[in-house]
Structure formats: structure tokens, C-alpha cells
Amino acid sequence: MDVDHSKFGSKKDRAAQKATRAAELAKLAASGEDKISDIGAIRLPNRISKGMYIDPKSGTAKQGNDRDAMMSPTSFLKGAASPRLTSFVAGGEDESIQFEGEMIRKATETKLKKYWYCLLGKELYVYKNKQEEKHKGMHNLVGVFIKDEPEEHLDSTTVLYPFSLIFPGNKPRVYYLLDKEAKNKWIEAIKKVIGYSNLFDYYEVKETLGKGKFGLVKTAVHKKTGKRVAVKVMSKKEMTAQDVELQRREIEILKMCQHPYIIRLLDIFENQDYIYIIMENLSGGDLFTYLEKRDFEIPEARAKQLGHQIATALFYLHSFGVAHRDLKPENILMATDADDTDLKIVDFGLSKIIGPNESSLDPFGTLSYVAPEVLL
């Protein structure tokens, strides 16, 4: 089979593409469009704990004997050798939180109705009034985002202080209070329950590294360790429901992967507008660039070492039923610029969990690197 090398592009073409990307980033920085909001977000579990498993049909983590857990980014960034890093079970302390009070809902634009609400753990109970013993409804706050809303002037003497809860399926419910301090207390209690954090409390976000289909990739510094990380900022407004689902599948796979030659997921934050994925910083460029800088000639021992690293990472993925489906030099990044640096497999956007009795016949991949049988 003849290979059309022109598809790979010349050095001149790649240099022109690099200059174009640099110009785009400079334009973003000059306009301020690469700034990211400091609004809070839910800090999500970043590790599948013992007892969790991947559902081969949906590609999502399913609950086993244990719950999803948080892995300490600090431990990894400090150089912990073992994948069994310091962790804690997500949501353990929140279940004891109790808060109650009166809030207002709008029946119509002009008709207001008061209810008594009780927050118990991650469940918000609603009563007709404070004296009622039986609740008229309950909302589970798992997967819910909270958003502060601007005050509304009902008339010349009445000011309403609202906030909204965005339930799964992007369904908002607005709650009103007559006192700003009361609203702030409700917001604080709910944020604590659903695990709200501020990205900027943990990371100092720096310059933009690149621009992707759904957002930016920025460099940041982990405040506790001073180590550099990469922050992928994706706007959910620019994503279809299918795009969001594919991104969640990629996150689930990365949560499972604890391998030295696969990029490490460190942290995840999400709010109603954005998903923030924090990963280890890889400064050596991709494998293609690494080889190009060396005129595509490396010692046989080094070639064997790189091949072994790729093979062990793939064996690890396949042992979990994960097919990458877009493996190519551009999706293999080098940890540093050093000649003997390790490589890491990245970009699991097209990956799929394939069960023991399943097969995958979908034609995924990049044309220049795809296996011949995929094209037949």
C-alpha cells in the first residue's frame, strides 16, 4: 500500500500552522477573551475508588461497594510513586448539614408564594409552612449547580434577592428571599452540600497554551506544591448534548487510569457554564515533534524504550476494556524536552469501553494513521 507523505505536511507547513496558532493566542490575550471566570464550581471526584466499575454500554462509572472518591493532587505533584494516593470519600461530611428557612417561589410573574424549606444533607425538602410535619416535595441536589442572580425590584418598596438551582437537564428553579443576608446563608449552605469550590483557591491560572474546539487550554500553578499543571476550560454553551456526554466518557476513563505512561487527571471542577479539567503539565511537545527535532533518527535502544512505554500503556488500557481509537504521534506527548524523557498517551475523546462480548466496527481515527482495514 502506497503512503501519501504529503498528508503529513512539510516542515514549512507545520511552521506556518504554528505561527497561525501563536497569532490566534496573541489576539485572544490582547482582547481579554482568554480570561476565565472566577465563579465557583463543584469540585468533582477524580478517581474511581475500589468497588467502582465501568459500564461497557454507557462508558460511565457505576457504583460498587465503595463510592467515588477524591484523589489528592498534592500527593501526585509532590512525586508520590504509588497510585494509592491520599484520598477521601466524596461527600462524607456533607450528610450532617442541616439548614432551614422560608423562601419564595413565583407562581406567576406577579403572584408570589411562600414555602418552608429544609436542607438535610443533599436533599432539599419543601413544606407548605413551618408548622407542617409532612413535606410536599423533595429535590435531590446531586448534580445540581447553583447560581447567584441579580436582585429584582417587585415594586417601589419590595426587593427580592434570588438565586437559582440548575438541575440535571439544564432545568433552572429560582428561589427568592426578602433579605440579602438570608440569601447568602442559603447559598453558602447549599454550596457546602454540593461541594462547591473555587478553582482559584487551589490553582494560580497563567497564560493560554492553546485554543480547542470548545474552549482554552491554560497553564496554571498548583498553590500547595508550586508545580505547573494544565487547565482545560470547556464552555458547555458551545457543546451539544452529545459533546458533553463524550467529554464525560473521557473523564470517566481518565479517572480510572493510574499509569505512568498515560496522562494523569488531577482535578475536575464544573458549574452551569464550564467544565474545568486539571491535568499534569507535559512540556515536551508531541512525539512527532520530538522525532522531527532529531531528523527522525533516534538510537535503537531509545526506539525500543519508547515502543515499550506505548505498549505497556495500551496493555493497561486494554485490560480495562478501553480502546483509544485515535492513537497517533500527535496524541502522545513528551513529559519534558530531554532526550530520555518519558511519553504519555493523551486525548481519549474518541475512546470507548468495549465489553468482553462486544465488538466495535465504528470507523474512528485520523486518516493519515488509521489502520488499512478500517478503510476497507
Q: Which amino acid type is present at position 207?
A: E
- Helices and strands in the chain, H and E counts: 8, 23
Q: Which amino acid type is present at position 124?
A: L
User: Measuring CA to CA, which residue among 105, 123, 100 is closest to residue 115?
Assistant: 105
C-alpha cell at 129: 409552612
At 216 the three-state DSSP class reads: strand
E-state strands within 121-235 = 123-127, 137-140, 145-148, 152-153, 159-167, 171-177, 196-197, 203-211, 215-222, 228-235
In 10 A of CB 36, how many CB atoms? 18
CB 289 within 8 A of CB 96: no
C-alpha cell at 44: 468533582
Of all helices (H) and strands (E), which one includes residue 279? strand 274-280
User: Measuring CA to CA, which residue among 217, 201, 228 is closest to residue 277?
Assistant: 217
* Given the residues 94, 326, 342, 347, the one annotated as active site: 326
Q: Which amino acid type is present at position 355?
A: G
| φ, ψ at 48 (rounded to 5°) | -90, 115
Q: What is the DSSP string of 48-100?
A: --TT-EE-TTT-SEE--SS--EEE-HHHHHTT--SS---EEETTTTGGG-EEE
The partner residues of 230 in beta bridges, in order of sequence, read 219, 279
Q: Is residue 342 flagged as an active site residue?
A: no
Of all helices (H) and strands (E), which one includes residue 280? strand 274-280
C-alpha cell at 142: 446531586
State the virtual CA torsion across 14, 20, 21, 27 in degrees, nearest 10: 170
Residues tagged active-site: 326
